[in-house]
Structure 1
Amino acid sequence: MKNVSILILLNLILFAKGTKIPTDVLDLNDKFVDVANEGSWFIKFYAPWCGHCKKLAPVWDQLAHSLTEKNSLVRIGKVDCTRFASACTHFKVTGYPTLIFFRNGVQIPYEGDRQKQALLNFVLKASSPTIGTLDSTAKFSELKKSSEKDPFFVYIDGEDKDQTLFEEYKNVAESLFAETRFFHATSIMPFPANVVLRKRPAVVVFKDNDYYVYEPEKEKLHGWVNSERWPLLPQVTPSTLNSIATSTNKLLVLVVLDSIYIHNSSSEVGRFYKLAKDASKLVRQDSDLHSQFQFGWLDDLHSQFQFGWLDGNSIVNSIVMGEMSVPNILVFNVSNYEFYLNNDVPSEMTAQSVYTFLQTIADKRVTPLGGRSWPQRIRRMFYDITTNLYEMFYHQPILTCCLFGVPLAFFSIITYSICSSDFSVDREDVYPEDEEEESQDEEDDSIHKNGKKKCFASIHILDDGHEKDE
């Protein structure tokens, strides 16, 4: 069986080498189904006519080239679903492009950003060991450099031999290893002196140049990891919006910025970005205060809100069904499409005023807007239609005019032809002239005959009367 699989794999590689354009992407066929469980694969299921697939094609080639340079064991491939429908049906592909990572038979769908770096980070995580080993200060320092954008979790052993927490940690790592990084340290040695643990074993997350310790008495480990695997202020994109909201189970505090000016502290956008970071830290400190003073009867703001910044206002415009200025801030509930707007002018906002605004939302002192009521759904439907039409005319005016103009002209011609046609019926069409004359002659003959009969009847009556008189 193993030899058969090897032969199939060789056939797939030879099939890929037969493509005309040199590429590190394997062009696969239906036989991929037989070898999908062997090793690591990252496959793009596509259709040649798909616009998104065409846009992804150069990025996919760049990804394959980068992994080849790193001597990665992950094979990058693609399957044309118009030619090899059997393979696509087997893997339940319903849309294009569909990206799936195969790791020894385990399928991991990819739904993140389709930029090269995001795809590369995903592949490196998905192909790495589920739980890595953290055994040196140098390795910890290397990991911490990227922790502001990519948090990582560490299980630190203790004197307690109970493996319950570690088993739970392993289960969480196996379900989320493609999303975030997990490590295991046998001692406190790799960590700096400022990392203080009250007890061990412990699970710690390092992010935003700080660390936070898991408290088992408060919540389940899986929920805590899902909530803490995002930085304080991550970038939110259309592909990550839902995953951030659903994994954290929080309201999203969306900060509308422009990536061009985000690091320019003298610009309004740069100032607002710093304001948002300070506000997110205040919300985080609110959680720390609750933990320190054990306000168990109150929900801290950190457990209710997750910050994130947007590059441009297109996402928030679709939420509010209008135009929002840049910079700005919006609180959004993904589950029911309700949102909250701050009445303060963006130029006058401060970190403390944003914190106060979130506190009023948590206390339910602000009425939400939007929602999923029928009037809102109908309004959103019309907004989406008009917005899409505008975007089509703006980006592809000639193509859009042809797309809508030709059917509209054809329909107009048909409508004009129907409306301008004369459907009135002349008398001559129903009663031809000769038939009308024949009918008139017959009518005259009938009258003439009837007149004679009446005359004869009158004579007979007169004769009878005369005879009686005699």
Structure 2
Amino acid sequence: MTANKKLFLVSTVSFTVLLNIATASAYVEELDDRFKNTRRADEIWLIEFYAPWCTFCQQLDPVWYEIGAELKSMGSPISVGKVDADVHRSLAKEFRVTDYPAIKLWKDDLKYNYRGPRTKEAIMDFADRVSGPVVRALPSQQLFQNVMSRHDVLFVYVGGTSDLKKYFSAAKELIVHTYFFSATRHILPKAVTLEEYPAVVVFKEGTYFLYNEQQDGELVSWINRERFLSYLTFDSYTLYAMGDTGMTISHTHTPNLEAVYKTLMQRAATEYKDFYSREFQFGHMDGNLYINGIIMDELAMPAIIALNMSNDGYFLPPNKVETMEQLVKFLDAVSKGRIRAPLLGALLFFVFGFVGSTFCFVLYKSCEMVRSRMREEREEAEALQSPGRDKNTETRKNPSEKKAD
């Protein structure tokens, strides 16, 4: 009798799960090649391109159905769909699908590509960000504080409409990565001092930084650098995103040495921001398996490594790094090309850091590489537009001159 009851309970739970999945799937529409001709111009679609044999696609299925159901329950204007790319190859080609699962958002005449973690929260944040206004207004101090509490990095345009066009253009290009806001000077916290208007400000890590065209170069490149925190915990998705800006670092065992590396990375990220923020991104990663796969070698932990995410080249310190002065010398040598890479290929982008039970990094960024990547992304966005649309120094000291303890 007890066994029968248990069997009955298990069967009931299984039935409930199947029913929930079936209910959720009702909010996800299967699309075919006719979709590109039947979609209305004002519709916004979040689409997964999958292949029936793809294991990762199968793992994404329940998450995708949850997203469809939740967006529907929220009254979102976003419709959610799926496309069997093996069958509907014409539609997959239209969206430039090359691997699975591929997640795209189609809004107006642009198709945006999602490259982040395949979690419900991350995908819904992407959908909300891209489907909404490119630049969102902050009309009150209360709303400004609320938004700032929810975002680790906050870009805000302050001033009139004269230069908003350039900011809007940059925001339209980078909306897949981060949110963009605008506000009047009266909305900003009293601690924020702006000497001239209009201005573009990034708020992060309890402080703010101003965009200076002469010092920082193109606005798009500056935003692409500043959208990351100074010091990061890396995973495979973050490193992939760093392909737009950087490189990596590592060294040997002992917990004490690992603590030394982490302290050095954090100091370099903050104290040396003026010297290295345009060239390096600092952070750490747990374990070395992912890095071993990139460099095709076994990396002892903890470690410091400068990794070129554009060509998988990397640099290791020729001597031990246990002081800030030694770290600065290594960074300078990497930046100025005085260290030979174990792998072939010119160093254009670096992430720099160390590996222990944790792996830490710094990202070295080549401005030319950033500009090249930005051009490629702009060309890709233009190529994905619907048919028929007309396409209309401040001198700095060398960081080695800064006192290094």
For normalisation by structure 1, the TM-score amounts to: 0.61
Q: Would the alpha carbon gap of residues 124 and 327 (structure 1) be closer, same or farther in structure 2, given more than 3 Å must change?
A: farther
1:3-43: CA deviation from partner (whole Å, max 9, x where unpaired): xxxxxxxxxxxxxxxx9822154132324221164321110
For structure 2, list consecutive stretches of 5 or more residues without a partner in the other structure. 1-19, 347-405
- 2: CA distance between counterparts of 1:76 and 1:351? 51
Q: Work out which structure has the larger RCO, using CA pairs closer than 8 Å and 6 or more positions apart in sequence.
A: 2
* Corresponding residue for residue 38 of structure 1: 42
- 1: CA distance between counterparts of 2:40 and 2:95? 10
Q: What displacement does 1:334 show?
A: 2.8
Task: Please say if 1:370 is aligned against 2:343.
Answer: yes
- 1: CA distance between counterparts of 2:149 and 2:324? 26
1:437-465: CA deviation from partner (whole Å, max 9, x where unpaired): xxxxxxxxxxxxxxxxxxxxxxxxxxxxx
* Corresponding residue for residue 310 of structure 1: 285
Q: Would the alpha carbon gap of residues 118 and 270 (structure 1) be closer, same or farther in structure 2, given more than 3 Å must change?
A: farther
Q: Is the 8 A contact 2:46 2:104 kept in 1?
A: yes
Q: What displacement does 1:207 show?
A: 1.6
* Corresponding residue for residue 15 of structure 1: none
* Corresponding residue for residue 209 of structure 1: 206
CA RMSD of aligned residues (A): 3.0
The structure with the greater share of residues assigned to helix is 1
Q: Is the 8 A contact 1:36 1:102 kept in 2?
A: no
The 5 A counterparts of 1:190-209 are: 190-209=187-206
Q: Is the 8 A contact 2:21 2:62 kept in 1?
A: no
* Corresponding residue for residue 295 of structure 2: 320
Q: Would the alpha carbon gap of residues 206 and 352 (structure 1) be closer, same or farther in structure 2, given more than 3 Å must change?
A: farther
After the TM superposition, list the runs of 4 or more consecutive aligned residues in structure 1 that deviate by more than 6 angstroms.
Answer: 266-271
Q: Would the alpha carbon gap of residues 357 and 268 (structure 1) be closer, same or farther in structure 2, given more than 3 Å must change?
A: closer
1:62-84: CA deviation from partner (whole Å, max 9, x where unpaired): 33344344332212221123444
Paired-residue identity, % = 29
Q: What displacement does 1:344 show?
A: 6.2
Q: Would the alpha carbon gap of residues 371 and 35 (structure 1) be closer, same or farther in structure 2, given more than 3 Å must change?
A: same
- 1: CA distance between counterparts of 2:257 and 2:151? 27
Q: Would the alpha carbon gap of residues 55 and 343 (structure 1) be closer, same or farther in structure 2, given more than 3 Å must change?
A: farther
Q: Is the 8 A contact 1:45 1:79 kept in 2?
A: yes
- 2: CA distance between counterparts of 1:167 and 1:371? 42
- 1: CA distance between counterparts of 2:113 and 2:61? 18
**How many residues are matched?**
321
Task: Please say if 1:282 is aligned against 2:271.
Answer: yes
Q: What displacement does 1:131 show?
A: 0.5
Q: What displacement does 1:361 show?
A: 2.3
* Corresponding residue for residue 61 of structure 2: 57
Q: What displacement does 1:227 show?
A: 1.7
Which letter does structure 1 place at the counterpart of 2:35? F
Which letter does structure 2 place at the counterpart of 1:77? G
* Corresponding residue for residue 82 of structure 2: 78
For normalisation by structure 2, the TM-score amounts to: 0.70
Question: 1:45 is paired with a residue of what secondary structure?
Answer: strand
The 5 A counterparts of 1:169-208 are: 169-186=167-184, 188-208=185-205
Q: Would the alpha carbon gap of residues 353 and 20 (structure 1) be closer, same or farther in structure 2, given more than 3 Å must change?
A: closer
Q: Would the alpha carbon gap of residues 71 and 317 (structure 1) be closer, same or farther in structure 2, given more than 3 Å must change?
A: same
1:157-194: CA deviation from partner (whole Å, max 9, x where unpaired): 15xx7x1x2211111111112221111112x2222222
Q: Is the 8 A contact 2:114 2:176 kept in 1?
A: no
* Corresponding residue for residue 262 of structure 1: none
- 1: CA distance between counterparts of 2:341 and 2:218? 30
- 2: CA distance between counterparts of 1:354 and 1:324? 19
* Corresponding residue for residue 28 of structure 1: 30
- 2: CA distance between counterparts of 1:268 and 1:58? 43
Q: Would the alpha carbon gap of residues 252 and 95 (structure 1) be closer, same or farther in structure 2, given more than 3 Å must change?
A: closer
The 5 A counterparts of 1:205-244 are: 205-218=202-215, 219-244=217-242
Q: Is the 8 A contact 1:283 1:355 kept in 2?
A: no
Q: What displacement does 1:198 show?
A: 1.4
The 5 A counterparts of 1:106-145 are: 106-145=110-149
The 5 A counterparts of 1:312-391 are: 312-342=287-317, 349-350=322-323, 353-372=326-345
For structure 1, list consecutive stretches of 5 or more residues without a partner in the other structure. 1-18, 257-265, 288-299, 374-470
Q: Say which one has the larger Rg.
A: 1
